């Protein structure tokens, strides 16, 4: 199975870039499953229903989120009726929405997407290790699931790495989100799980993690606010991870970074270069 994951979509610049690039990436990479983290689409904080619909229209099969999932209240009733939009699975029982989605491909193969959130320097949610482990008992890789992808939304690289090694050999992909900077460690772990500590953002990198530079710099230098931060509006780089799995086992055969457009160095998987 060919899987494309795109990192946090940041404001209008990111939305426009994903709308432009995702259809072409699906075609060029012959993507079977496309997953996009959309939690920063609405002016950099949260997401609105029409923006989520825009990602589906562009070719996303599942949209994940993170700590900003509830920042736009309009998304809550929409999420209840849209199984393709996820919030972290380790929110307490009774929280609106769901943290796991099943996707049945046209050829009958089944993919499972899980959204989980780390706890170090983040909200103190339920244990993501135990929560995801329980959820995946119904979806053994190579059995009920032909592929399993986990979007692990977190701040600390150590927690993301520990999480990936914990699930190595049990899932197809663990990919980190939240820090808005793509890491250079795309790899297949020893037991066959593809991993990248952070996919990066789909946004303008002439910025401070997607925000226009002036206000963040002012706050760091003067330790006082000069106003509300505004999203950077320049050309966005679409950043993500491309993984190809073995249909017999569900484990990863390769893991390669994707960077298209904007300011960052460009890279596409070897299969299209």
pLDDT in tens, 63-73: 999 999 999 99
165 is catalytic: no
Q: Which residue carries 């997401």 as its tokens?
A: 47
Topology of domain 2-204+235-272, per CATH?
Purple Acid Phosphatase; chain A, domain 2 (3.60.21)
pLDDT at 158 over 90: yes
* Residue boundaries of the structural domains of the chain: 2-204+235-272
Of 150-154, 211-215, 239-243, least confident by mean pLDDT is 211-215
The Cα–Cα gap between 268 and 273 comes to 7
Residue 171 pLDDT: 98
What pTM was estimated for this model as a whole? Answer: 0.96
Under the banding of pLDDT at 50, 70 and 90, the label for residue 272 is low
Q: Quote the percentage of the chain above a pLDDT of 70.
A: 99
Which position has the higher pLDDT, 223 or 250? 250
Task: Say if CB 176 and CB 152 are below 8 A apart.
Answer: yes
- Whole-number Å distance between alpha carbons of 140 and 12: 38
Sign for the pseudo-dihedral over CA of 175, 30, 63, 87: negative
Q: Which residues is 267 bridged to in the sheet?
A: 259
pLDDT of residue 271: 78
Structure token digits, residue 73: 């209240």
- What SS3 class is residue 123? coil
Q: Please pick, among 68, 153, 178, 180, the residue that the annotation labels catalytic.
A: 68
Q: What is the mean pLDDT of residues 254-273?
A: 92
The pLDDT, as a whole number, for residue 202 is: 98
- pLDDT at res. 273: 53
Average pLDDT over residues 187-203: 98
Q: Is the pLDDT of residue 165 over 90?
A: yes
Q: What are phi and psi of 221, to 5 degrees?
A: -80, -45
- Residue-level pLDDT at 183: 98
CA distances from 24 to 16, 21, 55, 205 (A): 14, 5, 14, 22
223 — pLDDT class (breaks 50, 70, 90):
confident
The per-residue pLDDT for 113 is 98
Contact 65, 87 (CB under 8 A): yes
Two tokens, residue 139? 């979806």
Give the integer Cα–Cα distance in Å for 262 and 253. Answer: 29
Dist. CA 230–CA 167, nearest whole Å: 37
138-145 mean pLDDT: 95
More confident residue, 273 or 210: 210
């Amino acid at each position: 199975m060919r899987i494309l994951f795109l990192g946090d979509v940041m404001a209008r610049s990111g939305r426009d870039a994903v709308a432009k690039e995702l259809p072409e990436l699906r075609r060029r990479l012959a993507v079977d499953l496309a997953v996009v983290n959309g939690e920063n689409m609405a002016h950099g904080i949260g997401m609105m229903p029409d923006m989520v619909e825009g990602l589906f229209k562009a070719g996303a099969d599942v949209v994940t989120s993170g700590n900003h999932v509830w920042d736009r209240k309009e998304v809550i009733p929409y999420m209840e009726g849209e199984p393709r939009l996820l919030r972290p699975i380790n929110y307490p029982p009774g929280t609106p929405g769901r943290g796991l989605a099943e996707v049945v491909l046209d050829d009958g193969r089944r993919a499972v997407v899980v959204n989980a959130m780390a706890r170090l320097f983040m909200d103190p949610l339920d244990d993501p290790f135990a929560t995801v482990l329980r959820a995946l008992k119904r979806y053994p890789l190579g059995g009920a699931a032909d592929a399993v992808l986990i979007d692990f939304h977190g701040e600390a690289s150590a927690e993301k790495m520990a999480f990936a090694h914990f699930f190595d050999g049990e899932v197809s992909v663990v990919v980190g989100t939240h820090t808005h900077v793509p890491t250079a460690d795309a790899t297949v772990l020893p037991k066959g799980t593809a991993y990248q500590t952070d996919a990066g953002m789909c946004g303008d990198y002439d910025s401070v993690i997607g925000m226009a530079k002036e206000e963040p710099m002012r706050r760091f230098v003067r330790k006082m606010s000069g106003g509300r931060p505004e999203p950077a509006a320049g050309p966005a780089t679409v950043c993500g991870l491309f993984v190809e799995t073995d249909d017999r086992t569900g484990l990863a055969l390769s893991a390669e970074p994707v960077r298209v457009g904007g300011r960052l160095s460009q890279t596409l998987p070897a299969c299209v270069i």
